[in-house]
Amino acid sequence: MAHHERTILYCKKRLSSIIEEFKTLKRVGRPRLSTPKVAVTIRYDADIIKAFKAGGPGWQTRMNDALHSWLKTHGA
């Protein structure tokens, strides 16, 4: 058996063992929120979206905060 064939066999075996090890790892991601967000589709006037986006990244969070603030003063 040629050297390159032995190298290929070694790599295949090593890759196989790495894949098996990977399968045993615990999948992690974002921690679960105590109050998870709800995905919705909603339409706003263009000027509203433009104003929030003008503040840069985080505009959706700012919009959420503004709605929370409104709820505090107007009730649910």
pLDDT in tens, 18-69: 998 988 888 788 888 888 999 999 999 999 999 999 999 999 999 999 999 9
pLDDT (0 to 100) of residue 25: 86
Q: Which residues contact 54 (CB under 8 A, 6 or more apart)?
A: none
pTM greater than 0.85 (yes/no): no
Q: Which residues contact 59 (CB under 8 A, 6 or more apart)?
A: 52, 53
Higher pLDDT, 26 or 76: 26
